[in-house]
Every structure is written in structure tokens, then in C-alpha cells.
Structure 1
Amino acid sequence: MTATPNVIELSQQLIRCPSITPVEGGALTLLEKILTDLGFTCHRMTFSDEGTPDVENLYARLGSSGPNFCYAGHTDVVPVGDAAAWKVDPFGGEIIDGVLYGRGAVDMKGSIACFVTALAAFLNKRGRDLDGSISLLITGDEEDVSINGTRKVLRWMSARGETLDCCLVGEPTSNARLGDMIKIGRRGSMNGTLTVRGTQGHTAYPQLADNPVHSLVCMLHAISTEPLDGGSEHFPPTSLQITSVDVGNPVTNVIPADARAMFNVRFNDLYSSKGVLDWVRERLDRVGGRYDLDFKVSGESFLSKPGPFSDLVVSSVANVTQQTPELGTTGGTSDARFIKDFCPVAELGLLNDTAHKVDEQVPLSDLTQLEAIYGGILEGYFKA
């Protein structure tokens, strides 16, 4: 029998690893040691890509047969910001009045600790001779460009013939209380840069110039005032938000040569990124004018339709919290957007209200409850 790590102590240990993305900071090394002691075969891999930092990742598996139940998460965290604004050392893992503070407490080292300790307790109770496999996919670049992490680990797994049958992602999905929302999909996200071309000139002689600012204002009005849709069964309406307008003109008597704006679109399952782009272009062309439109897609929308796996997660949450969670698709992107191409995905983690903030924190009671929820999911999946 292997000694079960304490969820609070493990959360503290992980927080004390300064793993600001993409630095490993000792977090993966700590997890590798614990999982090896639990009988897992661990693979540490570093991936590279031109123009991006190298990233360390961990894939651990216990068992060789299917089905393969996977937990996915990330140990990298965002920078602390102004460290002087924190009431505690951001990497101290301090506990004050029943609350654990530190960068990564909810996003998402606390969740990882909950799953690992639930896993250890489950294996000590049931033994390692399972009807199937358990795996963990832990990356170090979810908070960065997400190039050398989860999606490359998935490619590595595919090349080895590794398959996943379901995946629980531990992102902080809870809103007002622990377990009130399970994510079964995510909206797509794309960023656009619109540059309108004009002809520079003197403001006193506008007939000799072509003012791109006027056209830009009309174009932004065209794409921001008409809704793309009214939402779908599992998704809210698509949202287009203008995030920046920039002319860079330091004087008042010159009509600029060009004007630029940026916008972000969070789109639901009624659209692909191409569909969004077509919608935007059609409205820009309706206004008319010379423009360039560049865009970058962070991820397509996806939905893991409700089924046996999401039902299991819902029932485990309800058993522990005595309340039924909502199945949702809101929030930002996560590495679930890569995993969904391999298996059904459900995301469940701690409260998201302090993620990325100064004094990121989690009540100790939430850690013990989430540990119990994860344990229930394992028990339900691997019924004796």
C-alpha cells in the first residue's frame, strides 16, 4: 500500500514550485515522483518549435488495456504581476483562516492535487489491477501559446498507438460555488486586425485625401451592432468585441494614411471560424473601402454531447455537494479544444473568481470536496 498524499500539503508543494509559463519550476518533477511511486509509467518529454520556448510535459499511465480514463491539466501559471500587491508570497503556499493562497491555487495546481490524492486513495482501496487504464496528461504551456504542450503530447500518443476513451480536464469551471458548472464544450475564439487604407492629406483639403478613420468607424459599427446569432441549445450567443482602435496620429491637422482596429469573436457551434470570417467580410464589403483583414484562430467551438461520461461527473458532484451542476460552454479556451478530437471531454475544477488575480486563493474545504468528487468519478468509472 502506498501512502496517500495529503491534498492540502500537495497543493502547497505545487504552489511552491515557481512554474511561471513556460518554466517547469519543479512541478512536473514532483508529480512524476508521486505517480511513479503509485505504479505509473511516466514519460517526460520536451517539445520545441521555431520562435517558441521549449516546454516540458508529462504523460503517465497505469495499465495497458482499455478503456483509458485520462485526467488533463497544466502546472504552468501566469506571472504574479505586482508581487508587492499580494498579502502573501505568491509562491509561499500560505494558509490564512482556512484559505490557501498562491499563484496556481485554483488555476490549476489545486485541482491537480485533488485528482492525484483522490487517485492515490482509490488505488490504495482498489489495487492496481484495474479493468482498464488511468492516465494523466500534464502540460507546461497552457497559459502560453499552447504549441509545445498538449497537442504535441497527443500527437506523440497517437504515434505510439495510445488512445483515450474519456478525459476529465481540471480547469477552474465553478462560478458561485464548487461544482456548480461542468464544461462540456467551449466557444471558439478568433482575433481580427482590421486595417483600413486611405490617403494622407491636410484636414483643410479633405477633397484631396481619403480619410480611413471615417470608413473604419462605419465598418466597426457594421460588425458590432448586428448580432451574429441568438445562441444555440448549449451555447450563448456569439459575441464580437472591439478591443482596440488605433490611428497613431499625433497631430490634428493631418488626415492619416491608415487606421487600425482589433476585435475578438467568441463563437458558438453555429459557426466555424471560416463562417465568422465570411460574416465579417460581408459586412465590411457592404460598407466599402480599401482594407486588410488579418485574423488568428485560437480554437474552434466544440461540444461533447451529454452522455454517460458527463452523467457520471454530474452524479459525483451531486453526491458530494447535494446540488446538481449546470452543463455549460462559457469561459475562455482551454486545452480541451485539442483533446476533444480524441475522446469525450468534461471539465470540472475549482472556483474561477480569483484565477490570474492578485491573492489567488482557494478555501481548504473546496479542496477536500473536489478531492471527494474526483474520487467518486474514479469509483463510478471503474465499478468493481
Structure 2
Amino acid sequence: MSTADTLAPTAALDALELAQALIRRPSVTPADEGAMDLLQRHLEALGFTCRRMRFGDIENLYARRGTARPNLCFAGHTDVVPVGDAGAWTQDPFAGEVKDGVLFGRGAVDMKSAIAAFTAAVAAVLARGEPAGSLSFLITGDEEGPALDGTKKVVEALLAEGEVIDHCIVGEPSSAVALGDMVKIGRRGSINAWFTVEGRQGHVAYPQRAANPIPVLVRLMGRLQDRVLDEGYPEFQPSNLEVTTFDVGNPGTNVIPSKATARVNIRFNPGHRGADLAAWFEDECRLANEGFDGTVEVRSMISGEAFLTEQGPFTAVVADAVRDTTGREPDLSTTGGTSDARFIRSLCPVVEFGLVGTTMHMVDERAPVAEIYGLQKVYERIISLYFERIG
């Protein structure tokens, strides 16, 4: 049992020890393995009122300390991706061991250390006095999985209840090379689409008796890729479409198959809406079906819309805190994939700031201990500046 499991309610929290304790809970999505219980105990000891919000198999936690506004929220996830080949790790992925000043383990970067750092930062701030407002945590166990029963459902519930969160920091590993060199103020949207062309199987020597789905799907994919979606958008790179799979499953050399499928993904900037791109897919399928003795269908799923948190007092608080603590001027960026910020944006302005993400999801995921403590210091400064300027 780690020290973080046994700390007295009045003791200052150690970010490293709490990160180790969280890593020792093998909470691979959708498993929780006690990670949420551990965090809840420490938040309750700090005076937070905790609500467990379970949806399906997923454990979620919303904790708030105080009732006044503004309400500054920290969001993150306790679930982690699988370790892959455990034998390839030089350290046990769920032991939370420190070697040569580096913490190893699944979740060390993405993102149990950030949760620990923010919790320790809150404890340090509270030890100096009461903030002029509220602090809250929105923690899910479904960020690395389908993300259907996690933050999305919690946000919907909080909106329905009228809960007010004024601003949010997501602890995703946003730094690129050094702690503090990047803060994410927006993300591109994401849409996946599954295309299915159903034809009619037949002998390759008698094509008139068959309906080959492959040329139809090839032409369809070509048209999709030939379209230039845009040339970019202020603060964003150009949108891009990628064909991520093309499958026929035909072992015969003399057989025209009956079906061909493909999947595409578009990462899009705010110049597009997911629904418009889904409608474009439908239109292209109708065109592809003209003159073809078969069917062409598509099923789309919008993972999230593009968003941008406009630069202003909140982004200035975060950037100034990073600069004051690390000496670095952060790049306010919109690069990268998606995160749960795409759901939180419907509640309030949101930014992402966390550790350097170079080893996330990798074998030997790891974070320097000094960087974890550095992140805690940045979070402390963010909280203090926030309530000085916005509170």
C-alpha cells in the first residue's frame, strides 16, 4: 500500500505518491479497479462533495468544493489503454516504479500523473487560504474507450441539472517537447464513415452475370480523396480525409466478390460541421449507385465537432501561469487528435494543459518525476491567478 492510500486528511498530498497509487490500479477501459475510489477519498478529505455518476459499465466522478462562482473545473480520466506486450516493458506497467528519477507505468503520462498533480495543487492552494469561488473535478473512466458513457453523459447530466462550470482545464498531455511549451485551446472535429457496396458474386470470365462492387468503391474513394476540403481556418490546419481501411476478403482468383467495404476518417476544422460532411457522404453514395446493379450505403459517426476557445482572460491566466512557472512561452495550439474537451466545450470555455506526451500509449510509458512536480506548480499558479483575476 502506498503512502497516498494512507495519508491523513490534514496531510499535504504528494503528487508522485498519488500518481503511483493510481497507476497501481490497472484501470484499462472500462475497468476501474478502485482508481475512482482512491481519488474520491482524497478529494473528500480536501472538503469536496463527490458524486459518482455511473453510466453503463463506466465509473465517473463529479466533485465540487464550494458553491460560489466562478467554478474552475479540472477534467481528466482514470482509464488507460492496454499495455500491449507486457514482456516488452522494462518495468511492470502497473507497479508505478521510479527509476533514475522517472516514473514508469501505464497512465504515467496519459493521464494519472496530471490528476495527481492537480489534486496536490489544490491541497497546496487550500493550505494557503480559501479561493474566492469553487473548484471542481470531472473525472471519467471512458476517455480511452468508446467515450459514450463517460464525459459526454456527465456533461449532459450537469447541463440538465443547471450545474454551472465557468472554465475548465483538461489535464491531457499537451506539452510537445518540454513542459509548458504548448497549451491546447481547440481541437479539430472527427467523423468516421463506413462504406458498404453490395454487388453480385460471379465468375470472372462472365462479368455480365455479376455486379462487381470493387470498381464502384474504388471510384467512390477516389472522389472523396480528390476533394480539397479547405485551405485551413484561422488557428487551424487544413482538414484532411484519410481512407483507413479497404476490405474485400476474396480468396479466389476467379471470383468476382459480392461485397466491398471501406472506412474513412476526416479531421475537420471549424469551417465544417459533422452533419454537413455526413450529408456529403450520402450524396456521394447516391451518385456511386447510379447505373450500378447493387447498393451503395454509408454509416457515419461524428466523434466530436471542431472548437476553439477564443483567446482572452482565461487563456491569458493559463499562459501567464505557464510562463511564470516554467519560463517558457506556450504555443496556443489546436493540433492533435480529439479529447474529452470536445464534450466539455458545451459547458464552458476549455483548454488543455499537461505533461509532455511523447511516451503516451507506448511501451515504457513514463514521466520524469521533476516534470510531475513542475506540473503541480503550474496548476497551483493557474488556480491562484484564476481567482485573482476572474474570481
**How would you bin the TM-score normalised by the shorter chain?**
over 0.9
3-state secondary structure, aligned to 1:58: strand
Contact 1:222 1:284 in 2 (8 A): no
Q: Corresponding residue for 1:87? A: 90
**1:180-199 equivalences in 2 (<5 Å):** 180-199=181-200
* Offset at residue 281 of structure 1 (A): 4.2
Q: Corresponding residue for 2:6? A: none
3-state secondary structure, aligned to 1:9: helix
Contact 1:76 1:142 in 2 (8 A): yes
2-structure distance, mates of 1:25, 1:200: 49
Q: 2:25 aligns with which of 7, 17, 23?
A: 17
Residue 343 of structure 1 pairs with residue 348 of structure 2 = yes
Q: Corresponding residue for 2:81? A: 78
Q: Corresponding residue for 1:141? A: 142
* Offset at residue 299 of structure 1 (A): 1.1
Question: Which deviates further from its counterpart, 369-378 or 275-284?
Answer: 275-284
Contact 1:223 1:284 in 2 (8 A): no
* Offset at residue 286 of structure 1 (A): 5.0
Residue 36 of structure 1 pairs with residue 6 of structure 2 = no
1-structure distance, mates of 2:282, 2:178: 41
Name the amino acid aligned to 2:145.
D
Name the amino acid aligned to 1:3.
A
The change in CA–CA distance for 1:202 and 1:160 in structure 2 (over 3 A counts) is: closer
2-structure distance, mates of 1:137, 1:24: 15
Q: Corresponding residue for 2:303? A: 298
**1:61-72 equivalences in 2 (<5 Å):** 61-72=64-75
Contact 2:286 2:296 in 1 (8 A): no
TM-score by length of 1: 0.94
3-state secondary structure, aligned to 1:278: helix
* Offset at residue 282 of structure 1 (A): 4.4
Name the amino acid aligned to 1:30.
L
Q: How many residues are aligned here?
A: 377
Contact 2:281 2:298 in 1 (8 A): no
Over residues 207-238 of structure 1, what are the superposed CA-to-partner deviations in whole Å (9 max), with x where a residue is unaligned?
33332211211111111233211110111111
Name the amino acid aligned to 1:107.
D
**1:1-384 equivalences in 2 (<5 Å):** 2-48=10-56, 54-126=57-129, 128=130, 130-285=131-286, 288=290, 289=292, 290-383=295-388
Name the amino acid aligned to 1:186.
R
Contact 1:2 1:124 in 2 (8 A): no
Name the amino acid aligned to 1:70.
C
2-structure distance, mates of 1:277, 1:46: 31
Over residues 215-268 of structure 1, what are the superposed CA-to-partner deviations in whole Å (9 max), with x where a residue is unaligned?
211111111233211110111111111111111111011111221111111111
Name the amino acid aligned to 1:371.
Q
1-structure distance, mates of 2:175, 2:228: 28
Q: Which runs of 5+ in 2 are unaligned?
A: 1-8
The change in CA–CA distance for 1:84 and 1:113 in structure 2 (over 3 A counts) is: same
2-structure distance, mates of 1:256, 1:149: 40
1-structure distance, mates of 2:195, 2:154: 34
* Offset at residue 142 of structure 1 (A): 1.1
Over residues 12-41 of structure 1, what are the superposed CA-to-partner deviations in whole Å (9 max), with x where a residue is unaligned?
111111111122212111111111111111
TM-score by length of 2: 0.92
Q: Which runs of 5+ in 1 are unaligned?
A: 49-53
Name the amino acid aligned to 1:367.
I
1-structure distance, mates of 2:31, 2:262: 33
Name the amino acid aligned to 2:367.
V
What root-mean-square deviation, in Å, do the aligned CA atoms of Structure 1 and Structure 2 show? 1.7
3-state secondary structure, aligned to 2:138: strand
Question: Which deviates further from its counterpart, 164-173 or 284-293?
Answer: 284-293
Name the amino acid aligned to 2:159.
S
Name the amino acid aligned to 2:42.
I
* Offset at residue 189 of structure 1 (A): 0.9
Name the amino acid aligned to 2:67.
S
1-structure distance, mates of 2:53, 2:201: 53
Contact 1:2 1:120 in 2 (8 A): no
2-structure distance, mates of 1:4, 1:109: 18
2-structure distance, mates of 1:275, 1:156: 27
3-state secondary structure, aligned to 2:59: strand
3-state secondary structure, aligned to 2:53: strand
1-structure distance, mates of 2:177, 2:226: 31
